[in-house]
Amino acid sequence: MIYTYEKHTIYFWSFTLVLCALSTLVENNNFDNYFSVVNKICFFLILVFGVMHGALDDYKGKKLMKLWNIQGYYLFYLIYTSIASLIIFLWWTFPGFTLSMFLLIASYHFGKEDTEFFYSKKNFFDLFFYSLKGSLIVLAPLFFKFSETISIFANLFISESLIIFLSDNRYYINLFFILSLLSNIYFIFKGFENWLIVVFDLWSVLALNYFFPPLVAFTLYFCFLHSFRHTISLSYDLNPNNFVIGLKIFIKKAVVLTLITATLFIFATVMLLKNYTIDSSILKVIFIGLASLTFPHILLEYILEKNEKRN
């Protein structure tokens, strides 16, 4: 499995290198003229590839119900959708707080899932450095494209006072950005045999955020690095001996839930068009929608991992 991860890392790094080179041909990195088209492409990629990596949550939920000797799978769906709905409600009511919690939890999630495949031991320091390493996904767009990132936050109902606070305290953003970079050294020494994976990942994330707008950089990372890496793990879970067969099984199992989620995202976008522009609606659905799925997704994985260890 490590070999598959290594190949994917090299492919993604090469893919990033080509995209960054091509981006220099787009009017000196001026994507403003293509903003609306780019947003729609990002939306499509996230609906197809990004959402899919969590589309086996029903499969994992059924595993958890079996471990707990609970017969009715409907209970899992009820709890999962309730948590997702609660996050949407909280974002609508307390957007600044909910965004902050989402970014903190997402940082840990990105750091953990992008790293633990070559270093599975965990202690308090590992959990801390997972979060610090994963925070690069949040901090890099703020560091390289601050104004554009803040513009996205403004589209997510974030108050002007919070935006002013971030603008007045860019020093702390830059400080944590540097700490996030340095955290990679920790994992280079922890998983020394696979140190090139850490370096290539770091280079790819930095390059994407330097050359591309925040939404594009996030979409490319989320769909083709984070999500695909998670897909590799799930494929080997489904068939430990053959990745290709496991991948085929994964796609078959994930299609239905992916289509349902994509339909809901599109429906939410159409509803928002009554009050917002298409680009503003897409941004809201992408980030608030992903937040509503991320919380129950991470909670499910945490609970399942704990229960499988006990058994």
Lowest mean pLDDT among 31-40, 125-134, 258-267: 31-40
Q: pLDDT by residue (tens digit) across 265-305?
A: 999 999 999 999 999 999 999 999 999 999 999 888 888 87
Predicted pLDDT at 30: 60
**pLDDT band for position 145 (cuts 50, 70, 90):** very high
**pLDDT band for position 128 (cuts 50, 70, 90):** confident
pLDDT at 33 over 80: no
pTM of the model: 0.90
Percentage with pLDDT > 70 across the chain: 93
Instruction: Please give the average per-residue pLDDT across 2-12, as a whole number.
Output: 84
More confident residue, 5 or 219: 219
Q: pLDDT by residue (tens digit) across 100-113?
A: 999 999 999 999 88
Six token digits for residue 173: 């953003």
- H/E stretch holding 48 reads none
Cα within 13 Å of Cα(141), Cβ side? 21
